Chain A
Amino acid sequence: MKNTKSALLVGVGGQGAILTAKVLVNGLMNAGYDVKMSEVHGMSQRGGSVSTQVHWGKKVYSPVIGRGEADIIVAFEKMEAVRYADFLKPDGIAVINDYELPSMTIAAGLCEYPEGCLEAMQENFTCHVLNAEAIAESLGSAKCMNIVLFGSMVKALGMDGIDWESVISETVPPKFRELNLKAYRAGYAAVD
């Protein structure tokens, strides 16, 4: 694990975490890093909890990380931040979307959405919390929420050495280019 960094992108199936990971990976590849990315398909797509891992450095072996090994968690949904919190290093960073998606068990009234997700994360880790949905909607579409979060992640990790705007332009479909560039800038600006 020496000299490598790892990011864990977590959310709910359909939130666009995979596109975010793709932007990250493309930028890292262009910058000459060895990169591995891991995701799980199948059952988890049907509204279940999903996680995508990106691991980069001069030389990377394992595509996956275990508990206590992630440098950053980007949570597209706040309860998912809590679910994966033990993957974070004690000095790791969390970028959390202040967004609540009840699970089927909660919607069916079998249990309650846990209270204090954000506070629990903030007590333990360096956290950047933003309402990426509201930011995305103010830019024109909730669909670019994922790139808003990506902008925040870049700022939080201090990964300014890579020209992310051109990476985004090359990765997203042309008709969404402007929207996603705005989303990136807004997300970046949302982190102090």
Chain B
Amino acid sequence: MKHLLSGNEAIARGAYEAGVRVCSAYPGTPSTEIFEALPQYQEELYCEWAPNEKVATEVAYGAAIAGVRSLCAMKHVGLNVAADPVFTASYNGVNGGFVVVTADDPSMHSSQNEQDNRYYARAAKIALIEPSDSQECKDFLRTAYEISERFDMPVLFRTTTRVSHSKSLVEFSERIDVPPRPYVKNTPKNDCAPGYAYQKRPKVERMLKELEEYGNSCPLNRIETGDGEVGVITASIAYQYAKDVFPEGTSFLKLGLTNPLPMNLIRDFASSVKTLYVVEELEGFMEEQIRAAGIPCIGKEKISNMYELNPQRLRQMLFGIEPETKELKVKAVSRPPALCPGCPHRGFFYIMSKRKDTVIAGDIGCYTLGGSAPLNALDTCICMGAGFSAGAGMAKAFEVTGRKKKVFGVVGDSTFFHSGMTGAVEIIYNKANVIPVVLDNHITGMTGHQDNPGSGYTLQGEVANAVAIEDVLRAFGYQKILIADPQDLSTMEKAVDEAAASDVPTAIITRRPCLLIKRMKHDIGKCTVDPEKCVGCKSCLKVGCPAIMIRDRKACIDANLCVGCTVCAQVCTKKAIAGKEN
């Protein structure tokens, strides 16, 4: 029987079937569902959310050193955070197999950049495996563990949004039982001290060479023989697009193991066809190496290195075939994502939007949406943790050049534990003139509500030790920690004013749980507008709530969307908005 699984669900199934025992990850779109699908196998494997990707990678790698198969997973930018252990794991090698899943996001559906993480495999000198559908996600993962153990290296397992989030049919296999390998203390292998690293350096090259040789005949790389006219070398989701676009009779070299590239196999394939194409999404990762090996091919001069491909784009770029579409007279206006009705972040950002003398260094999460109109309450957003540390740098720059600007750094609770804590230390240690603000909604929101060290629950939903953010800040040396309910605008404003005027190290925690946390009971109501009192001044629109709009020159609240948070009622100067109960 076949099962319809997303690539992410298939990776989780693959981990189960491959006998994996320890799994650790930090959520990030499009990788998150791998770990959401793992607890169903918790009888056979341990899985967890780690505070960040570097910790997750080190946990999984530690487990591999101890002799079991292990898995970690992250979105593409997560690998930037986790790169440190990966590069050294390449030298030290493994005991049990060790796989790092990176889910890239071409077209940046939910990401800040479009980096092509295949280059990480080259830079770290490790194996790279790229599945092109859900069946391959599951099957290739098992082979990835065999490769990791046989060639004594981590394996980078790369998906893209369309591989991770597309669903296709998967045939299951039985779980194989992989007994733990003995753990024997072996300092020269497991210690990266310079002397040992120097000795291990040639092994890294030797293993890559052997792996390349293996790639020439390994089952992950396969040829579909055609009529010899046109050949296509491709991998990952681009294979599926190329299959739709090239005519019957086209030969394919479909690669699953893409670092190191099997250059002998590629050379043989190239010589079997008259015209050779290299079809890959994002950068010319394979093409650059194929050209450098002296093999002529057609690739990035036609296929853009920007944004995700699809069959129509590929057809247009390769063969100049324009799609047949109809032009409409009407154009849709943009529909950007917004903070949900009742989002606790709204009150904080509304208060900040009124402070014109202030710079707000933001961060990655739902609260990134505080930067959108009409709130417009963020100046920067760079990466996880930069809300505090980039804010500190801006404050230093203002200070040394004599410009008076008050800087607030903003991170969420999950981001605080991810990499906000070090920024909070930077601020206190180097006396940066920044007010750190932790927007604590008790959950990792944007990725779909995963638990974190502050939420009090584990990935499996078991009760955990909740780390109190205020205790951490206090231990760092913050003398004043103002905890405010962001939905109570006057309290929130008072806290912001007090922090801005404070002459001792001060931090703010806004605390109210996200309304979408399922295990909690939420106080839901409806706000209504009294049209007699409403003068149509549009003050309520400034809170940026999707439930409020103007109809016939009066404010109007969509009863299906409103949850009765009353933030709009608090800003109404005519007291025309009431909660349902009032």
Chain A positions within 8 Å of B, measured between CB atoms, are 1, 12-13, 25-26, 29, 34-49, 60-69, 79-80, 82-83, 85-90, 102-117, 119-121, 123-125, 142
Cβ-neighbour of B310 out of A64, A112, A113 (below 8 A): A64
| Bound form: Cα–Cα A68–B33 in Å | 31
B325 with A68: CB separation less than 8 A: yes
Given contacts A108-B544, A109-B538, 5 further A-B contacts (CB under 8 A): A25-B4, A26-B4, A35-B168, A43-B109, A114-B330
B328 with A40: CB separation less than 8 A: no
A42 with B30: CB separation less than 8 A: yes
Beyond A29-B4, A46-B337, A48-B336, whether A109 also contacts B167 by CB under 8 A is no
| Bound form: Cα–Cα A87–B325 in Å | 7
B326 with A42: CB separation less than 8 A: no
Complex A-B: 24 CB contacts under 8 Å = A1-B311, A25-B4, A26-B4, A37-B168, A38-B165, A38-B167, A41-B32, A42-B30, A46-B338, A46-B340, A48-B335, A48-B338, A64-B311, A65-B310, A66-B311, A68-B324, A85-B325, A89-B324, A90-B326, A107-B541, A108-B373, A108-B544, A109-B538, A124-B328
B336 with A120: CB separation less than 8 A: no
| Bound form: Cα–Cα A113–B331 in Å | 10
Beyond A117-B330, A124-B328, whether A66 also contacts B323 by CB under 8 A is yes
Interface residue tally for chain B (C-beta within 8 Å): 62
Tell me how far the C-beta of B549 lies from the nearest C-beta in chain A, rounded to whole angstroms: 4
Cβ-neighbour of B324 out of A29, A90, A105 (below 8 A): A90
Tell whether B219 is near chain A: CB-to-CB under 8 Å.
no
Beyond A90-B324, A113-B333, whether A69 also contacts B110 by CB under 8 A is no
Tell me how far the C-beta of B279 lies from the nearest C-beta in chain A, rounded to whole angstroms: 12
A82 with B109: CB separation less than 8 A: no
| Bound form: Cα–Cα A44–B337 in Å | 6
Tell whether B520 is near chain A: CB-to-CB under 8 Å.
no
Chain A residues in 8 Å Cβ range of B415: none
Beyond A63-B162, A64-B162, whether A25 also contacts B549 by CB under 8 A is no
B166 with A63: CB separation less than 8 A: yes
| Bound form: Cα–Cα A177–B334 in Å | 36
A42 with B109: CB separation less than 8 A: yes
A41 with B333: CB separation less than 8 A: no
A82 with B332: CB separation less than 8 A: yes
A-contacting residues, B243-295, CB 8 Å:
243-244
Beyond A36-B168, A120-B330, whether A69 also contacts B312 by CB under 8 A is yes
Tell me how far the C-beta of A126 lies from the nearest C-beta in chain B, rounded to whole angstroms: 12
Closest Cβ neighbor of A50 among chain B residues: B335
Closest Cβ neighbor of B332 among chain A residues: A83
Closest Cβ neighbor of A106 among chain B residues: B333
Cβ-neighbour of A104 out of B169, B237, B338 (below 8 A): B338
A-contacting residues, B157-184, CB 8 Å:
161-162, 165-169
